[in-house]
C-alpha cells in the first residue's frame, strides 16, 4: 500500500510540476540569484511535505487505533474523593465519606492520589493548584475530575484561573498536605467539631 501511495504522489507531483517550465517559472533558473531562490523554494517544499506527512500519519494513527477504556485503567482504590463546589467568590469543600464541610481550604494526605470533583454554582471558574497539578474548569451543571497528589508535607496555594467577576482576585484557597497519620488525626478532630 505504501508503494502505491508513493507512486500516486510522484505521478501527481510530476503532473503538477510539468506546468512549471514557462518563462516565468522559478523552477527553471537561469541565473545565480534565481538558483538561490529555487534552492530555498525546494527546501520549503520539502519541509512542508514532511510536516504534512507527519500530521497525516498522526491523524491516521488516531483514527484507526483501538480505543482504551480509561475509566477502568484509572481506578485507584487508594484515591481520596473530595468535592469542590465553586461559587462567586469562594470554594465549598466537602469530604463525602466523612461528612466534613470547609470553605477555601482543602486538607489531603501526602503520597495519596486525590480525586477532586469540581463543579460550579454560577459561572465558569478555574480550579488550579500550580504546584500540584493542572487547571480544570468548574462548570455549572457539570462535574469535572482532576487528580492531584502531594509528594511532600506543606501548604500549597490555589487560585481561580478563570475570570469570574469583580472579586475574582480574591477567589483563592489553600491545600494543606499532611502526613498520613496527621491527616487521619485531622479527620477525627473534624468529626468531633462537626
Contacts of 84 (CB under 8 A, 6+ apart): 91, 92, 93, 94, 106, 116, 117, 118, 119, 127, 138
Give me the domain span that covers residue 159: 78-193
Instruction: Give the pTM.
Output: 0.64
- Do 6 and 44 belong together in one domain? yes
One domain for residues 171 and 145: yes
Query: What local confidence, expressed as pLDDT, does residue 131 receive?
Result: 95
Same domain, 33 and 57: yes
- Count of domains in the chain? 2
Asked whether residue 73 is domain-assigned, the answer is no
The verdict on 82 and 60 lying in the same domain is: no
Mean pLDDT of 72-85: 82
Q: What is the pLDDT of residue 194?
A: 59
* CATH number of 180's domain: 2.60.40.420
Region 143-170: mean pLDDT is: 94
Q: Tell me the pLDDT tens digit for each residue of 98-124.
A: 989 999 999 999 999 999 999 999 999
100 and 60 in a common domain: no
Average pLDDT rounded to a whole number, residues 72-88: 84
For residue 30, pLDDT over 70 is answered with: yes
CA distance 54 to 46: 12
Amino acid at each position: 500500500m505504501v508503494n502505491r501511495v508513493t507512486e500516486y504522489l510522484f505521478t501527481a507531483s510530476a503532473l503538477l510540476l510539468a506546468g512549471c517550465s514557462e518563462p516565468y517559472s522559478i523552477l527553471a533558473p537561469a541565473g545565480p540569484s534565481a538558483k538561490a531562490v529555487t534552492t530555498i523554494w525546494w527546501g520549503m517544499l520539502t519541509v512542508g511535505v514532511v510536516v504534512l506527512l507527519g500530521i497525516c500519519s498522526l491523524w491516521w494513527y488516531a483514527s484507526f487505533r483501538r480505543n482504551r477504556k480509561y475509566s477502568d485503567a484509572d481506578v485507584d482504590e487508594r484515591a481520596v474523593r473530595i468535592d469542590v463546589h465553586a461559587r462567586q467568590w469562594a470554594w465549598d469543600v466537602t469530604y463525602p465519606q466523612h461528612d466534613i464541610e470547609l470553605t477555601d481550604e482543602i486538607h489531603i494526605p501526602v503520597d495519596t492520589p486525590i480525586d477532586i470533583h469540581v463543579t460550579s454554582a454560577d459561572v465558569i471558574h478555574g480550579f488550579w493548584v500550580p504546584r500540584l497539578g493542572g487547571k480544570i474548569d468548574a462548570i455549572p451543571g457539570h462535574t469535572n475530575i482532576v487528580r492531584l497528589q502531594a509528594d511532600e508535607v506543606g501548604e500549597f496555594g490555589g487560585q481561580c484561573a478563570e475570570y469570574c467577576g469583580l472579586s475574582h482576585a480574591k477567589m483563592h484557597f489553600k491545600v494543606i498536605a499532611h502526613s498520613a497519620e496527621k491527616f487521619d488525626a485531622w479527620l477525627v478532630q473534624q468529626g468531633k467539631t462537626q
